Amino acid sequence: MPITSIEELSKLIELSDSEKDWKEGKMGSLPLLISDHIASMLSIPAIRRQFVPSYPENTDETGDLDPQEECLHEKTRRLVHRYHNRAAFLVTDRCFSYCRHCFRRRFTGSLQGPASDEEITEAARYAGNHREIGEVLLTGGDMFTLSDERIGFLLDTFKKICPDVILRLCTRAVAVYPERFTEDLFAIIRKNQKGAPYYLMTQFNHPAELTADAIAAVKGFIDLGIPAMNQTVLLSGVNDDADTLIELSNRLLYNRIKPYYLFQGDLVKGTQHLRVPIEKGLEIERKMRLELSGLGMPQYTIDLPDGGGKVILTENHLIEKKGRDYVFTTPEGGTRIYPDPIS
């Protein structure tokens, strides 16, 4: 049965702080905000675990609040240029629902609000002046918490100043607040489609999140010719088994959403109870690779601590090299030899 009242919701929340601390917002680094769409699904354990605060979140002292060292790579206010060919612009700190596994807890829900006109323009100019940047991630927070007018200004500014830069529209809103995606909003996106393409970057972590409304929201982008890519976070007690992730990948593909990344949880303070051991993650990845096509297989990826960057996690099938022969294991456990060409 769905959760139908605040009283029922409160029974699900394991508070580690006093009632006074809760009211003063001292519970942790993230506020509690759950959309009606997600509240209707809180009886599903995998959904509840992603959005309802728990005791471990407030007692975990491991990790960091900025494990990717974004602060060190901030080139203009809110523009992070950490990788050579792409940058991330933190459009706002607001979301429609706050995920307890959020890796940007230093910023998300911090009441800084949306970026100003000046900050947007300054970020677009930086991207336009640095020709190595081919992509900008419009992220945060969730850019679609902005009004239609502000989204129009954001897209128009980037398109005018750096029209050759691909814009990634990063959002969790299609999963948690799909009613946001109206015809008026799509008309604004359609109006600002000149120049380099958009890519929609979604986050669906569990098959239950692929509701009819969520699928319809993504369809609105796809029907505009905008490809949809999904980034799933591997989460303990949510999706840490191969069958769940195989079902998720197949359903994503069926709905024209490419499974792109399967992220190992970042070393963020307050999230240790949600992180999956890497050995278990590799075993899940191995089982997924046996069942999914290349089109349906996401890249199991870890963002290394201290700003080390992304690396792919996968089973190594190369056993050894003998002369010019490379010895491999097959996915089924056999062995094969691949020789280098004779020079």
DSSP class of residue 335?
E
Specify whether 152 is located in the same domain as 285.
yes
170 flagged as catalytic: no
**Which pLDDT band holds residue 7 (cuts at 50, 70, 90)?**
low
Catalytic hit among 190, 280, 310, 321 = 310
Specify whether 177 is located in the same domain as 307.
yes
252 found inside a domain? yes
Q: Average pLDDT, whole number, for the chain?
A: 91
Catalytic hit among 66, 142, 240, 303 = 303
CB 110 within 8 A of CB 65: no
pTM for the whole structure: 0.90
136 found inside a domain? yes
Specify whether 334 is located in the same domain as 301.
no
Catalytic hit among 48, 78, 94, 104 = 104
Q: How many residues does the chain have?
A: 343
CB neighbour list of residue 323: distance below 8 Å, 6 or more residues apart: none
Alpha helix locations (H) across the chain? 6-12, 19-23, 36-39, 45-51, 55-59, 117-129, 148-161, 173-176, 183-191, 212-222, 242-254, 278-291
Q: pLDDT digits over 92-129, tens only? A: 999 999 999 999 999 999 999 999 999 999 999 999 99
Q: Which amino acid is at 266?
A: D
Q: pLDDT digits over 175-187, tens only? A: 999 999 999 999 9
**What is the helix (H) or strand (E) element at residue 89, kind and residue range?**
strand 86-92
Of residues 2 and 269, which shows the higher confidence score?
269
167 found inside a domain? yes
Q: Crossing angle, helix 148-161 and helix 117-129, to 10 degrees?
A: 30
Residue pointed to by tokens 């996401």: 298
Q: Which amino acid is at 250?
A: N
Q: Residue 206 pLDDT more than 50?
A: yes
Catalytic hit among 48, 49, 86, 180 = 86
331 found inside a domain? yes
60 found inside a domain? yes
- Taking the alpha carbons at both ends of the chain, their separation in whole angstroms is 68
325 flagged as catalytic: no
Specify whether 237 is located in the same domain as 261.
yes
Q: Which amino acid is at 63?
A: G
Catalytic hit among 100, 266, 269, 300 = 266
84 found inside a domain? yes
Catalytic hit among 102, 126, 260, 300 = 102
Which CATH number fits the domain that encloses residue 289?
3.20.20.70
Give the pLDDT mean for 337-343.
Answer: 91
82 flagged as catalytic: yes
Catalytic hit among 48, 78, 95, 98 = 95
State which residues form the domain around 330: 316-343
Q: Residue 62 pLDDT more than 90?
A: no
95 flagged as catalytic: yes
266 flagged as catalytic: yes
Catalytic hit among 77, 82, 251, 258 = 82
Give the pLDDT mean for 60-84.
Answer: 92
1 found inside a domain? no
Rounded distance, CA 79 to CA 91, Å? 9
Specify whether 185 is located in the same domain as 113.
yes
210 found inside a domain? yes
Specify whether 289 is located in the same domain as 332.
no
102 flagged as catalytic: yes
Specify whether 207 is located in the same domain as 338.
no
Specify whether 159 is located in the same domain as 31.
yes
**According to the model, what pLDDT value does residue 28 have?**
46
CB 266 within 8 A of CB 238: no
**According to the model, what pLDDT value does residue 307 have?**
85
Of all residues in the chain, what percent carry a pLDDT higher than 70?
A: 92
Specify whether 247 is located in the same domain as 322.
no
Specify whether 91 is located in the same domain as 219.
yes
Of residues 166 and 9, which shows the higher confidence score?
166
Q: pLDDT digits over 222-250, tens only? A: 999 999 999 999 999 999 999 999 999 99
CB 57 within 8 A of CB 268: no
Q: DSSP for 254-311? A: HTTEEEEEEEPPP-BTT-GGGPPPHHHHHHHHHHHHHHS-TTT-PEEEEEETTTTEEE
Q: Residue 260 pLDDT more than 80?
A: yes
Specify whether 333 is located in the same domain as 255.
no
DSSP class of residue 55?
H
Give the pLDDT mean for 165-191.
Answer: 98
The token pair at 37 is: 């769409």
Rounded distance, CA 200 to CA 207, Å? 19
Specify whether 39 is located in the same domain as 178.
yes
Give the pLDDT mean for 130-143.
Answer: 97
- The mean-pLDDT minimum among 163-167, 169-173, 232-236, 268-272 falls in 268-272
Question: How many domains in the chain?
Answer: 2
18: left (phi > 0), else alpha (psi -120 to 50), else beta?
Answer: beta
Residue pointed to by tokens 């919701």: 9
